[in-house]
Amino acid sequence: MTAPVRRESGLDRRSVLVVAALALVTLTLVVLSVGTGDYEMSPGEVLATLSGQGTKAQYLVVMGRLPRVLVAILVGAALALAGAVFQTITRNPLGSPDIIGFTTGSATGGIVALLLFGSGPGLVSVGALVGGLLTALVVMALCAPHGLLSSRLVLLGIAISAVLVGVNSYLLVKANLEAASQAVGWLVGDLSGRDWSFVVPLAVAVAVLAPVVFANGRALRMLEMGDDTATGIGVDVHRVRLTLVLVAVALVAAATAATGPLPFIALAAPQLARRMTRLPGPNLLASVFVGATLVVTADYLGQRLLESSLLPAGVVAAALGGAYLLWLLLRRRA
C-alpha cells in the first residue's frame, strides 16, 4: 500500500517510472537534436563531444546547438507547470493559459516590446510579463462576481484571446516591414537562433518560479477538492491562489518571451501526465517532464519532417495538439 504522503507528492512507483521514461526519451531526443543540422553528427559523436572527447570543430558545433534544446526543455517545463496550476485552480481541463488568453496576452506584450524597443530577450521578457499579468487581471476581474471556478472563465478567456489576436494583427499592420517580419517570426513559435542569451534568463526565471509552485504543491491539490475543504484543512486559499496565479503567469511570460507562443503544450502536458501516472492532483513533476518532452519532440520533428525547409516548433506543436484534442473528443464519444 502506497503511503498518502508519497501520493500527494506524486512520487509513487508508477510516477517514478513515468518520469524516468520521459527523462530517457528527452535525453535521447536532445542527443539527436544536437546532431541534426548542416554538419551531421552521430549520437556517439555527440556524446563523446559532451564528455570532452570530441574534436574542436565538433565541440563548436555542439555548443552552438545545445542552447536550442536547453531552451526547448525549459520552455516545456515552464508551460507545463503553468498549465497544471491553472487547470487545478479552475478545476477545468480547458483552464489552460493558452485557452483563457494569458499566453496571447503575453504575446501582445512581447510584440509591443519588439516593435518599440527591438529584439533583446530582456525587453521582450518584460513586455511578455506585463502583457500576461494585465490579461490575467482583466480575466480575473471579469470573473470575480462568479468566481474562478465558473465556466465563465473559459468563455471569457476565449473572448479576450480573440480580441488580443485582433490587437496583435493591428500592431503588425501598423509596424514597418522589418519589425513586422521579425514579430511574425516570433509569433509562430520558433526555437531557431536561440543562444545562451536566451538560456540564462529563462533558466533563472524557472529556477526562481518553479520551486514556488512545488512548495505549494500540497495546497494546490487541496484546492482541487474545493475551497471549503481546503480551508478546513488549513490552507490559506486566497493567498495560495493569488500566489500561484501570479507565478504561473510569470512562467508563461518567460516561456513566451523565449520562443514566442507555443500552443497546446500547457493544455496537453498536465492531462497526459495524469493519464500516465493514473493519479489525481496536479502531478507537477510528471507534467514538467511531459512538457519538456513535447517541446523537444516538436522541435526535432520540425527539423526532420521536411528536407527542403525547417518547420517552426510552434507549427508542429499546434499539429500535435490538434491531433491530441481530436483523439480526446473521439475517445469520449466512443
Residue among 112, 156, 155 nearest 130 (CA): 112
User: pLDDT tens for residues 97-126?
Assistant: 888 888 888 889 888 888 887 666 667 778
Q: What residues have CB less than 8 Å from 106, skipping those under 6 apart?
A: 128, 129, 131, 132, 135, 249, 252, 253, 256, 257, 261
Instruction: Tell me what pLDDT residue 23 has.
Output: 93
Q: How many residues does the chain have?
A: 334
Q: What residues have CB less than 8 Å from 312, skipping those under 6 apart?
A: 188, 189, 190, 191, 192, 302
Instruction: Tell me what pLDDT residue 203 has.
Output: 94
How would residue 149 be classed by pLDDT, with cut points 50, 70 and 90? low
* CA–CA separation, 297 and 101 (whole Å): 25
Cell triple for 113: 516590446
Cell triple for 196: 545562451
Query: Cα separations (Å) of 97 from 25, 55, 115, 200?
Result: 26, 44, 24, 24
User: pLDDT tens for residues 220-264?
Assistant: 888 877 777 777 887 777 888 888 988 998 999 889 888 888 988
Q: State residue 267 phi and psi, 5-degree precision.
A: -75, -45
User: pLDDT tens for residues 33-52?
Assistant: 998 877 888 889 999 988 88
**Residue 288 in contact with residue 80, Cβ under 8 Å?**
yes
The class (CATH top level) of 13-322 is mainly alpha
Cell triple for 281: 492532483
User: pLDDT tens for residues 277-327?
Assistant: 888 778 899 999 999 999 999 999 888 877 656 788 888 988 888 887 787
* CA–CA separation, 270 and 285 (whole Å): 10
Place of cell 487547470: 87
Instruction: Tell me what pLDDT residue 205 has.
Output: 92
Q: What residues have CB less than 8 Å from 334, skipping those under 6 apart?
A: none
Decide: pTM greater than 0.85: yes
Percent above pLDDT 70 for the chain: 91
CA angle 211, 97, 153 (to 5 degrees): 120
In what helix (H) or strand (E) does residue 238 lie, and over which residues does it extend? helix 237-259
Cell triple for 31: 542527443
